Structures are given as structure tokens and as C-alpha cells.
Amino acid sequence: MSLVTKPTVVFPNHQINQKQMIDVLKDLFPYHPKWDTVERMIRNTQVENRNLLSPINQVVTHPGFEYRNKLYKDQGLKMATEVTQKILSDNKMKPKDIDLLIVVSCTGFLMPSLTSHLISDLDFRPNTKQLPVVQLGCAAGAWALNRAHEYIKAYPDHNVLLVSVEFSSLLFQPQDDKISSLISNCLFGDAVSGCIIKGIPENGDEGYLIENIDSYVKKDSDHYIKYDVKSTGFHFGLDKEVMHSIKDVAPIMEKLINGYSNKNVNDLDFHIFHTGGRKILDELVSNLDLVEENVSKSRESLKNHGNIASGVILDVLNHEFNSKTRKNGDKGIMAAFGPGFTAEINHGTWIKN
């Protein structure tokens, strides 16, 4: 078993609300033939605010992929360092206490990875294991927690540090007027987050104890969520068919819960779902016959910060910690979805030592 401790989530300082973003896009594409449809769909995202790495007037320009990737490196390392130091401090740990460092990110590219930079800059042990993950998109946060769980089963006295670095605003393409792209521009937000996963909980620890995990990849769905890599960088592509994929993964989620706890989804005490968007949450409610309250924290995350990709899971989990309503022994589920169509799921217990 592995204990996920309280996450740290840090947002860039630049914030934009939905109305401001609509005005920006209207100025950028004043003659869009389907603007009424675009505006209606943006309002239906239910994203009221998002944080961006740069001011919006800089986001909607394109100084080149080289400039954007340097911004990703500089700000990614700066904010990842801040998050890492806070996580270690909150857990009364030092870099030498970490055995495996996982960094998940799909909005830029570095070689060597951010894992290598963090190990050097923060004086981690030279034998700290690295696991940089780039291509799992929004599913990567839950994927990393599941892989940390498997790692700790093999090394029960080890500790894992997970860091998520997502700057989706760096993907903005000012020449792309496809409806799906315009909606995505108003859906995704920027954030850096992280947490420590412990193999041996200590006296006084509180967190989410992962007990069982599962994974799912829908075959022949590579076109659902993808990047087209061009000279201008990453161009995000989203097929509307992804909205109908929850029906395929819902039975797997139910089986995982029923198989280990003899409960149904609504009987669980907490639910940590990735906010792929309003429609994804609606599909979860419909296909799992969920009580609306069980997705309320995910909807709150979407409303206040948009879809922060792999960091959503950590943000929603952080809401659970901050609510201070969890009791020792509460049962819960976590699920995230991403390219592939990929789903990563786990089930566990809240503990307070």
C-alpha cells in the first residue's frame, strides 16, 4: 500500500475570466463564420477563471516554438523547484529522503528532463531514480500515482516525489480557428503541482492510501486526443468521440470498487475525478449513475482553474484535504482520462494516524 500525502498546487499570477477570453477571441477572429456557436460552447464549458503563465496579450501572439520552449524550461524549473521545496518542507523531509522522482508534463519538451535539473539544483541523491513522463496528457497524474504504488510494493520503505508541470497556454496557436481549438483555448489552464507518496506512513500522517489500481486503453482511439507537431510547436487536437468513451471505462471502475469493497460508486465517501471538461463530468454522472454531489469538487476545480491537465487529480485531492471532512477509514476512488483513450483508476482508504 502507498500513502498519497497532501498535494501542493501553485498557479501562475496571470488570471483571465471567461468573458475576457471571449472578448480576446472575438477580436482575434472577428469574421469567424460560426462565432455564435463558438461563444455558446465556450460559455457551456463552465470554466469561469483560469491562471496563465503569461499575460493574455502575450499568450495570443506566437514568438516561435524556440521562445515558448525556453519559457517552458525556465518557468517550469522555477515553479517545480518552488513546489518541490514546499512539499518537502510540509512533510518534514529532505531531498535525500526521496528515492524516485516522477515529473509528468505534456506542454513542453526538455532533454535532459526536469527530473535531472531538479536532482542537480536541489541536491537530491545522485542515485535518485528518474521517471519523466511526457505523452500521457491529462491521465498522467493518476498514472504516476498508480506507478508509484507499484514501485512501493517492490520497495516498501521508499518514498516517491511526483511533480506535474502543465502550461497549456504555450500551445495557443493564433492562426487556428477550428471550433475545437477555440474551445480548448478556453478550457485549459496552467499550474504546477506535486505530492509525496510514502511507503511507510508515520505517526501523524494523513492521506489517501491507494489499495487497488487498474488501467484501460481503448483501442483504435489514437485520434481522440492528440498533438500535431509542426514548426509552430504542438497543435492540440480533440475529437468529439472522446466524450462518449466514459461508457467504456465505467464498468471497469465499478468492477474495481465492487471487487474490493462490496460497495457501489455512490456508496463511497469521496470521488476524485479528472475534469476533462463539463461534458466528461456529465458523462461520468450519467454512466455511473452518480449523485451530483460526488463530482462537486471536480466541478469546482474546473470552474476556478479550468482543466490543468495532469495536475487536476492533485488539485481535486487537495480540495479533499482542505475540506477537513474526511474521516479515518473513508473509502474513495480516483480516475483520470487522457490520450489513447487512456484511463487510470485507483481505489483506496483515507487514513489519519
Query: Mean per-residue pLDDT for 274-301?
Result: 92
pLDDT over threshold 80, residue 282: yes
Query: Mean per-residue pLDDT for 77-93?
Result: 97
Higher-scoring residue by pLDDT: 203, 112: 112
The count of residues in the chain is 353
DSSP annotation of 269: S
Q: Alpha-carbon distance 156 to 161, whole Å?
A: 14
Q: How remote is the C-alpha of 42 from its chain's centroid?
A: 21
pLDDT in tens, 41-79: 999 999 999 999 999 999 999 999 999 999 999 999 999
pLDDT in tens, 202-255: 888 899 999 999 999 999 888 888 888 888 989 888 788 887 889 898 888 888
211-352 CATH pick, 3.30.70.1250, 3.40.47.10, 3.30.420.40, 3.40.50.720: 3.40.47.10
pLDDT over threshold 90, residue 302: yes
Q: Is the preceding peptide bond at 112 cis, omega within 30 degrees of 0?
A: yes
3-class secondary-structure state, position 49: strand
Residue 70 makes CB contacts below 8 A (sequence gap 6+) with none
pLDDT over threshold 90, residue 162: yes
Q: Alpha-carbon distance 112 to 17, whole Å?
A: 35
pLDDT at 239: 81
pLDDT at 204: 84
Task: Name which of 208, 204, 196, 163 is nearest 88 in CA terms.
Answer: 196
pLDDT at 240: 80
pLDDT at 7: 98
Q: Alpha-carbon distance 199 to 263, whole Å?
A: 26
pLDDT at 115: 97
Task: Name which of 2, 5, 1 is nearest 193 in CA terms.
Answer: 5
pLDDT at 263: 79
- The CATH 3.40.47.10 domain(s) of the chain lie at 2-198, 211-352
Phi-psi region of 207 (alpha: psi -120 to 50; beta: other; left: phi over 0): left
pLDDT in tens, 20-36: 999 999 999 988 999 99
Confidence of residue 159 (pLDDT cuts 50, 70, 90): very high
Q: Alpha-carbon distance 186 to 156, whole Å?
A: 42
What are the b/e assignments for 303-340, b being 16+ CB within 10 Å?
A: bbbbbbbbbbbbbbbbbbbeeeebeeebbbbbbbbbbb
- % of the chain with per-residue pLDDT over 90: 78
pLDDT at 140: 97
73, exposed or middle or buried, with CB in 10 Å at 0-12, 13-18, 19+?
middle
Residues marked active site are found at 138
Q: Alpha-carbon distance 171 to 251, whole Å?
A: 34
pLDDT over threshold 80, residue 259: no
> In this structure, how many other beta carbons lie within 10 angstroms of the beta carbon of residue 138?
31
pLDDT at 201: 85
Average pLDDT score, the chain: 93
pLDDT at 275: 86
pLDDT at 342: 94
pLDDT at 340: 84
Query: Mean per-residue pLDDT for 330-351?
Result: 94
pLDDT at 258: 81
pLDDT at 353: 73
Q: Alpha-carbon distance 200 to 157, whole Å?
A: 6
pLDDT at 180: 86
Q: Alpha-carbon distance 187 to 58, whole Å?
A: 18
Q: Alpha-carbon distance 79 to 119, whole Å?
A: 15
Domain 2-198 has CATH 3.40.47.10: yes
pLDDT over threshold 90, residue 155: yes
How large is the angle between the packed helices 296-305 and 312-323, nearest 10 degrees?
A: 120
pLDDT at 224: 86
pLDDT in tens, 98-109: 999 999 999 999
Residue 28 makes CB contacts below 8 A (sequence gap 6+) with 60, 174
pLDDT at 168: 96
pLDDT at 72: 97
